[in-house]
Amino acid sequence: MFLSGFLIVLVLVLVYLLIIIFFPILREPQVQMKNQEEERVAPENREEIVYEIGEERVHGWFYLPKERKTTVPCIILSHGFGGTKDALLERYALRFNEAGYAALTYDYRHFGTSEGKPRQLYMASKQEEDLRGAVDYARKRKEVDCKKIVLWGTSASGGYGLVLAAENPTIAGVIAQCPALDKNIDGRVVLEREGWRFFLKLFVHAQRDRGRGRLGLSPHYIPIVGRPGETAMLTAVGAYEGYQDILLNSPTFQNRVCAQVLLTGRGENPSDFAVHVHCPTLILACEKDILVSMEAVEKVKKSMGDHCRVKTYPIEHFDIYQGENFDNAVQDMLEFIAEIV
């Protein structure tokens, strides 16, 4: 009896090794995107910075307003899923600079110019550590008023500010733009849209990557974003085009992520922390968003009460990054920041 059970387990292990980890037919899916190969000219007020998390170095950019007579508030900006600081965040940082605030952007470990192996490894818990490091760095700058740190996040990072503000009451404010605030609710939305076959396909790739990692082998990647029907983490209508528009100016973005993200990337659920956040919080939500849920926004608003205000826009997820929608959102952010700092 024991021997037969052992043989069954052995067969399952061999199947896992041969088919999931080593089988050559399970290749890395590819979705090509165009992005800029050369870096743009750096603004005069942009400074290259480095801080450490453990033994790994995080690279960022620090922006100071040209005219200042005293210490200034600092806005720390975190980018969305798979993004890099050169893709999007500088536009926001410069607008905050024009209003008299310092700004700090950075690449998460494993992405962009920051250290960390394997490359393109997404783990929300590690990214929250990187944000904590950014807060510590900003507070040590003599130009920054350490009591006036505002955390800004968008999309996948939109909830990181809530997690940190819940544990650190000295955070002055949180701005969450088209944020992913509840992984359970957002996951249900994706399941209803994509179906179980989508998740099963990603699950096989995730097991391959995690299994290869356990054996010290090279990562197995899947695309971050693809068109509907392709194998990628994000395949909603408009997601590919939305990423393409944002990332045209990024020489460091790679459209791939370690496939284990489906198993290990979740991290903490921001909505669970909302009740413990007492600093002013602004949520900018897109009413036609199909990537993240308005239900989660309403849940957080209910938990936070008067500490949270919600600004809605009749647009889709990626529209808020472009043109007049971008200008309107930034203006709402600036009015909010002026009130709280």
Q: Can you give the pLDDT at residue 32? A: 66
Q: Can you give the pLDDT at residue 39? A: 62
Q: Please tell me which residue, 40 or 239, carries the higher pLDDT value.
A: 239
By 3-state DSSP, what share of the chain in percent is helix, strand and coil, each rounded to 5? 45, 20, 40
Residue 288 has pLDDT above 80, yes or no: yes
**Per-residue pLDDT reduced to its tens digit, 136-158:** 999 999 999 999 999 999 999 99
**Per-residue pLDDT reduced to its tens digit, 163-172:** 999 999 999 9
Q: Please tell me which residue, 249 or 232, carries the higher pLDDT value.
A: 232
CATH code of the domain occupying 43-187+266-340: 3.40.50.1820
Residue 47 has pLDDT above 90, yes or no: yes
Residue 33 has pLDDT above 90, yes or no: no
Residue 16 has pLDDT above 60, yes or no: no
Terminal CA-to-CA distance of the chain, rounded, Å?
Answer: 70
**Residue 282 DSSP code:** E
For the chain, the domains span 43-187+266-340
Whole-angstrom Cα distance, residue 132 to residue 254? 25
How confident is the prediction for the chain on average, in pLDDT? 90
Q: Taking residues 83-109, report their average pLDDT.
A: 96
Q: Can you give the pLDDT at residue 14? A: 61
User: What does each C-alpha distance from 16 to 95, 198, 266 come to in angstroms?
Assistant: 51, 20, 24
Residue 242: phi and psi, rounded to 5, are -65, -45
**Per-residue pLDDT reduced to its tens digit, 196-217:** 899 999 999 999 999 889 889 9
> Are 131 and 78 contacting, i.e. CB atoms less than 8 angstroms apart?
yes
3-class state of residue 74 by DSSP: strand
> pLDDT-derived band of residue 17, with 50, 70 and 90 as boundaries?
low
pTM of the predicted protein model: 0.91
> pLDDT-derived band of residue 117, with 50, 70 and 90 as boundaries?
very high
Percentage of residues in the chain having pLDDT higher than 90: 74
Query: Using CB atoms within 10 A of its CB, is residue 42 exposed (0-12), middle (13-18) or buried (19+)?
Result: exposed
Q: Taking residues 87-92, report their average pLDDT.
A: 94
